[in-house]
Amino acid sequence: MPRFTTDPGQFAPGGEFREGTATQIVMTFDDNRLASALFGQYGQHLASIERRLGVIADSRGNQVTIEGSREACEQARRVLEGLYEQLKRGVELTTGDVEGAIRLAISQGSLFDFDPETSRRNFEEINLRKRTVRARTPGQDAYLRALKRWPLVFGTGPAGTGKTWLAVAYAVQLFERKEVDRIILSRPAVEAGERLGFLPGDMREKVDPYLRPIYDALFDMMDARIVERALQTGEIEIAPLAFMRGRTLSNAVVILDEAQNTTAMQMKMFLTRLGENSRMIVTGDPSQVDLPAGQRSGLIDAVRLLGQVEGVGHVPFTQEDVVRNDLVARIVGAYDQADRESKS
């Protein structure tokens, strides 16, 4: 556990804090190697904390000095303690982990009895052979809990919230545990029309560019040789939505990505493919529909129609769940604000 001290010179006589004055916290970590990983290459993780929380973080060896308002310093302390606990458990930190920890600290407000181990342990995680995948935000946590509870789950919200990535991780977990025989991953191939015949090359060359994000998630979760072998044997199948028609998908996890670009009829066709011992996960961003004007999005339609149907879960993500990059969250917020202003 890191040791920290608070500069007492920033408090009034009697120990009361003077509003508007700065606080200084000095944190010392007992492992130099982990401290270096915590601060990030060239201090990039500390820079993120500085930028997001409005503090100054100066590192020297295994020690970091944090200056700023009392609340901001306390939030920064929580972030660093929580991330340090992850490193002690052998987890490699990413910028998304740092961003998620910052958002968690902000959402908890001024909780001075904060316990980093308890806080992180409450978030759901998926244990795979290659890596452990953890929820980084309350929205992601709710999503993983819904995936474990319901046979059909809709995950909707802006880009960068981890909808597809977590869905693939959950599918890989069930596959590795032999709870399902297959993983089937699908997307609308070309925005709405799926006009594959006009593209050059064989069928795989036609559809691969549109399914690349799913491939990337798979290779992130599983050993490359296992993925390639499973693709050859059909245990993992990646196909455009049009190829789902007429099939019954049993003993499988079936993921439909970019579902906002399905029509209502395509969505109905897809959902009715659900067979015995199968689970379906449907992801998409209702704000990025590329269908021709006048055509309803199958995703928006399905969420509205199936909201009260037993066995169906829906987790809406917001810009607060964006973990890809804090700039993405600000971009999403700007577009949402413009959309609200246009409707008012």
| Whether residue 27 sits in one domain with residue 58 | yes
The band of 326, judged by pLDDT with boundaries at 50, 70 and 90, is low
The band of 160, judged by pLDDT with boundaries at 50, 70 and 90, is confident
| Whether residue 280 sits in one domain with residue 324 | yes
What pLDDT is attached to residue 86? 84
* Of 122, 153, 186, the domain-final residue: 122
The band of 21, judged by pLDDT with boundaries at 50, 70 and 90, is low
33 in a structural domain: yes
> Which residue matches tokens 């930028």?
51
| Whether residue 142 sits in one domain with residue 82 | no
271 in a structural domain: yes
Q: What are 37-57's pLDDT values in tens digits? A: 999 988 889 998 998 888 999
Here the tokens at position 253 are 């996890």
Which CATH number covers residue 103? 3.30.1370.10
pLDDT beyond 80 at 109: no
82 in a structural domain: yes
What pLDDT is attached to residue 108? 64
- In 3-state terms, the chain is what percent helix, strand and coil (to 5)? 50, 20, 35
Q: Considering only CA atoms, which of 164, 167, 3 is closest in space to residue 84?
A: 3
| Whether residue 239 sits in one domain with residue 152 | yes
**Dihedral (CA of 92, 98, 103, 106) sign:** positive
Which CATH number covers residue 308? 3.40.50.300
pLDDT beyond 60 at 194: no
pLDDT beyond 50 at 328: yes
The band of 100, judged by pLDDT with boundaries at 50, 70 and 90, is confident
| Whether residue 193 sits in one domain with residue 167 | yes
The band of 113, judged by pLDDT with boundaries at 50, 70 and 90, is very low
What pLDDT is attached to residue 124? 85
DSSP at 65: E
Contacts of 257 (CB under 8 A, 6+ apart): 164, 167, 185, 186, 187, 213, 214, 283, 284
Q: In whole angstroms, what is the distance from residue 169 CA to residue 192 CA?
A: 26
For Cα atoms 49, 68, 18, give the angle at the middle one, nearest 5 degrees.
Answer: 150
| Whether residue 326 sits in one domain with residue 258 | yes
97 in a structural domain: yes
Q: Considering only CA atoms, which of 232, 240, 235 is closest in space to residue 208?
A: 240
Torsions phi, psi of 207, nearest 5?
A: -95, -20
Find the farthest-apart pair of alpha carbons in the chain and give their distance in angstroms, rounded. Answer: 78
Indicate the pairing of strand 132-134 with strand 279-284: unpaired
pLDDT beyond 50 at 17: no
User: Which range has the worst mean pLDDT, 3-17, 22-36, 195-209, 300-314?
Assistant: 3-17
Mean pLDDT for the stretch of residues 167-171: 95
| Whether residue 217 sits in one domain with residue 307 | yes
pTM flag (> 0.75): no
pLDDT beyond 90 at 178: yes
User: Which range has the worst mean pLDDT, 97-111, 187-201, 204-218, 228-242?
Assistant: 187-201
Q: What is the 3-state secondary structure (H, E, C) of 125-171?
A: EEECCCCEEECCCHHHHHHHHHHHHCCEEEEECCCCCCHHHHHHHHH
| Whether residue 143 sits in one domain with residue 76 | no
Quick one: angle between helices 70-88 and 32-39, nearest 10?
120
Q: What percent of the chain has pLDDT over 90?
A: 39
Structural domain containing residue 294: 135-343
Here the tokens at position 344 are 């008012």
Of the two residues 13 and 262, the one the predictor is more confident about is 262
* Of 122, 147, 178, the domain-final residue: 122
What pLDDT is attached to residue 240? 82
pLDDT beyond 90 at 119: no
Report how many domains make up the chain: 2
| Whether residue 149 sits in one domain with residue 44 | no
Mean pLDDT, the chain, integer? 81
Cβ-contact 124, 169 below 8 angstroms: no
| Whether residue 180 sits in one domain with residue 77 | no
Could you tell me how far CA 63 lies from the centroid of its own chain? 31
pLDDT beyond 90 at 145: yes
| Whether residue 117 sits in one domain with residue 177 | no
What pLDDT is attached to residue 269? 93
106 in a structural domain: yes
129 in a structural domain: no
127 in a structural domain: no
| Whether residue 259 sits in one domain with residue 149 | yes
* Of 89, 122, 155, the domain-final residue: 122
